[in-house]
């Protein structure tokens, strides 16, 4: 039995014709929860109108994760095809089909589309009716009218492999859970308490001036130590850094290398140091959020975008992410 290509819904005549040809090459075993095949239907009769409405309701009452496995989640019924034969049905207006199924599915019921595939040597056409995929948040679609012994007002129909029938208790519970799994309504009121003040820092100029001033002070200390009495032939320098008064044990080259390492560490620490200083000296700003809905929300996260700052410039700053 040839495999049916279920990767995409057969929208458009070319795709629908390809599906029809695959169905013709197969048999009744091709029918699944996403596909039903009818050799013929007389959509002018109440009996066959009820059959079409029943499939629409059943296809729409599938679980979204199951439906997504084929035809992009759509449900498809092909009318006018049997094994090795493409007989079609007499042409019928889309408006007539809508009028026929509307009393059963309701104006707010499942949405569907219709594609026609012309038959050769006859005015008949194959109808490919495509029901929209079910979605999380949709409550069960309920039959709105009894009809021809197949449909019952108030019943919920589901589509199983090869049949459309009334839902069992567990299936009805699943559909009710589908309805409750919709998007939660969110209504927040947000207020900024305090004054947000822009702060401009010329990082490059300030950093270079800071390093140049302190480097000059450190090298000047080296020069004074070398020229002061008691410096010694080894060129030992006085321990002036960080208020030290003990004799410095390092030689001149080692001392200058430590100054270079100090400069490197200052350059690495500078971005966060500036932000920490601003955070310590600036006036605090609070963000107040009020939930206007009754639904309790876990782990609410607020992201604050500061205009003019790149994401890298605020990474690691306390309270910014």
- Residue from 93, 81, 138, 78 nearest 111 by CA: 138
- What length does the chain have? 321
Which pLDDT score is estimated for 148?
86
- The pLDDT tens digits of the residues spanning 27-79 come to 888 999 999 999 999 999 999 999 999 999 999 999 999 999 999 999 999 99
Which pLDDT score is estimated for 184?
63
Which pLDDT score is estimated for 273?
85
Which pLDDT score is estimated for 220?
83
Which pLDDT score is estimated for 56?
98
Quick check: 83 and 153 in contact, CB under 8 A? no
The stretches in the chain having pLDDT less than 70 are: 1-2, 182-185, 226, 228-249, 298, 306-321
Boundaries of every domain in the chain: 13-180, 184-199+284-321, 204-281
pTM: predicted TM-score of the whole model, two decimal places = 0.59
Which pLDDT score is estimated for 232?
47
Which pLDDT score is estimated for 283?
79
Which pLDDT score is estimated for 54?
97
Which pLDDT score is estimated for 207?
86
CATH 3.30.950.30 given to domain 13-180: yes
Which pLDDT score is estimated for 313?
43
**Sole residue written with tokens 């459309």:** 164
């Amino acid at each position: 039995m040839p495999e049916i290509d279920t990767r995409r819904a057969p929208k458009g005549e070319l795709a629908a014709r390809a599906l029809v040809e695959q169905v013709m090459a197969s048999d009744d075993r091709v029918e699944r929860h996403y596909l039903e095949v009818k050799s013929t239907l007389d959509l002018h009769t109440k009996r066959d109108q009820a059959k079409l409405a029943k499939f629409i309701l059943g296809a729409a009452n599938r679980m979204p994760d199951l439906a997504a496995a084929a035809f992009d989640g759509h449900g498809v019924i092909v009318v006018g095809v049997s094994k090795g034969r493409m007989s079609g049905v007499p042409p019928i207006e889309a408006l007539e089909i809508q009028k026929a199924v509307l009393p059963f599915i309701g104006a707010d019921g499942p949405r569907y589309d219709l594609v026609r595939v012309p038959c050769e040597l006859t005015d008949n056409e194959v109808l490919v009716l495509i029901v929209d995929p079910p979605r999380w948040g949709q409550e069960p679609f309920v039959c709105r009218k009894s009809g021809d012994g197949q449909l019952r007002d108030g019943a919920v129909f589901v589509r199983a492999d090869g049949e459309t029938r009334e839902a069992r208790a567990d299936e009805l519970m699943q559909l009710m859970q589908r309805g409750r799994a919709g998007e939660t309504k969110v209504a927040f009121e947000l207020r900024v308490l305090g004054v947000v003040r822009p702060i401009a820092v010329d990082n490059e100029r300030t950093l270079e001036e800071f390093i140049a001033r302190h480097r000059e002070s450190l090298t000047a200390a080296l020069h004074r130590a070398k020229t002061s009495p008691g410096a010694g032939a080894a060129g030992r320098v006085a321990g002036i850094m960080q208020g030290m008064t003990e004799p410095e044990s390092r030689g001149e080259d080692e001392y200058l290398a430590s100054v270079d390492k100090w400069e490197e560490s200052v350059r690495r620490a500078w971005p966060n140091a500036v932000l920490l200083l601003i955070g310590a000296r600036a006036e605090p700003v609070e963000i107040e959020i009020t939930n206007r809905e009754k639904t309790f929300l876990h782990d609410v996260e607020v992201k604050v975008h500061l205009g003019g700052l790149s994401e890298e410039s605020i990474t690691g700053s306390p309270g910014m992410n």
